[in-house]
Amino acid sequence: MFHRYSWPHLAVLLVCMPSFLWAAEPTSLSSLLLKAREANPDIQAAQHRWKVKLAEVSPNAAWPDPTFTFVDEQFPSGVNGVDPEHIKHYRVEQMIPFPGKLTNESRMKYHEALIEQAKYQATTLEVFRDVKARYYQLYLTDRLISLAQQSVDVMKQALGSAQARLASGQASAADAFMAETELKRMENMLFEQKQARTLVQIELNTLLNYPTETPIGPAEPPELKDVPADLAQLQKVAGSDNPLYLAAMHEINHSRAMMTHHAMQFLPDFGVMYERENADAGPAGRQIGVSVTFPLWLQRPIGLYRSAKEHLSEAEASSQSMRNMVLKNVHAEYTETNTYLTQARNYESSILPAAQSTLKIAQRQYASGQGDFLRLLESFRTWIQTNNEYQDKLYQYVLHWGELERWLGVPPDRVKEALEQHELMPTEMNHAK
């Protein structure tokens, strides 16, 4: 968040001097978001967790590995001069789970992968929100540095003028002392703003996984734009695209697959066996066997099934709670975004121009000897306070726009495009994206 500063860091000629221009090339937000997606460790960790679960889907559908046993035996004959009997056994066994067990286990892992995919998307949106907030915070800090630098230069001239008027008897010593005090405050504010930019740069570099001292060029100004959809459309998209809600829906499907898994533990498993026996003397023997394994102690599968049933009820309740939270936050962020958008536009259209006009009138009156220095200071402070309030509204608008995007799951300006895609998509596919 930005701090509120007193009037000196903007100064008198804010309204008449050109803005300070950075020599560095502007840094685009899109390039920073791309770098964050590629390098942010939180995003990378979430992506790998998703891939771990995805890689477990196929192995869980495979049969257990067959076993091969080799036994080399010698049986003493018990008669002197007679060699012991030498027999070799070769045995191959394959366990065969009841049809559908492995498929259901694979389905459980598939839903776990979908849950991790949704969490990966949620992490990406959270990091993007933070990158956007720090990016526009960088822009506003650069603007304050520019205005503070102008203020220092102008106040030096104002101090010189006050000292000259004092020497000619046209002003009191208080004017010169106040001008000198304000000059020192502006120099202090300029230093503080430069330090604030360094802190923002540190946070942004950390999000990008860069060394904290990596320089970042100036940011581009945010665009004040309306949310191109109404609340009903926003909530409809959030109900289909918000990754946290999708994760909750996938958890329900995972719970259902878990119930099926535990219910199938009552069913038997099978096995096949082939054994060959070779003796030094006599013909080779062969055995072929089939096994069936039944669960004799039912306490374990019964308990696990009951547990899975309760877990399903928990997942359904959690899903409804998450849906309520998503819709609530979409409504709240939609309201906040429009609130700060309206306020920022009001500042641009009327409040800032009025404060600027008041400042100009106070400047002319003081220059013509009709006004005093205190009136001029009051006009300065009003202008500074107004400008700070405008910057705060602008930053809050950007911040809530990013929060709205996070709860929607898509950028607000792509809501109608998302709605069109949902209309073309079969209903049963909406939650399986």
Cβ 265 vs Cβ 301: under 8 Å: yes
The whole-number pLDDT of residue 117 equals 95
For residue 94, the SS3 value is strand
pLDDT recorded at residue 191? 87
Three-state SS at 365 = helix
Q: What is the pLDDT of residue 183?
A: 76
DSSP state of 299: H
Q: Give the residue among 317, 343, 340 at the shortest CA–CA distance from 402.
A: 340
CATH number where 216 lies: 1.20.1600.10
Output phi, psi for 291, to 5 deg: -120, 150
Q: How far apart are CA 137 and CA 389, in angstroms?
A: 14
In the prediction, which pLDDT does 208 show?
94
Which of 200, 209, 36, 202 has its CA nearest to residue 126? Answer: 36
Inter-CA distances, 90 with 198, 287, 417, Å = 73, 10, 65
Q: How many domains does the chain have?
A: 1
Residues 6+ apart with CB under 8 A from 242: 326, 407, 408, 409
- 1 falls within a domain: no
Residue 149 in domain: yes
In a domain? residue 214: yes
Which residues in the chain land under pLDDT 50?
Answer: 1-23, 427-433
351: which residues sit within 8 A by CB, 6+ positions away? 386, 389, 390
pLDDT at 11: 38
Residue 374 lies in a domain: yes
Cα separation, 120 vs 21, in Å, equals 39
Q: What is the pLDDT of residues 260-274, one digit of tens each?
A: 999 998 999 999 999
Is residue 425 in a domain? yes
Q: What residue numbers bound the domain in which 222 lies?
A: 7-76+83-432
According to the model, what pLDDT value does residue 159 have? 67
Q: Which two tokens stand for residue 430?
A: 């909406």
Is 247 a domain residue? yes
Q: Is residue 2 part of a domain?
A: no
In a domain, 54, yes or no: yes
Nearest by Cα to 409 from 394, 430, 428: 430
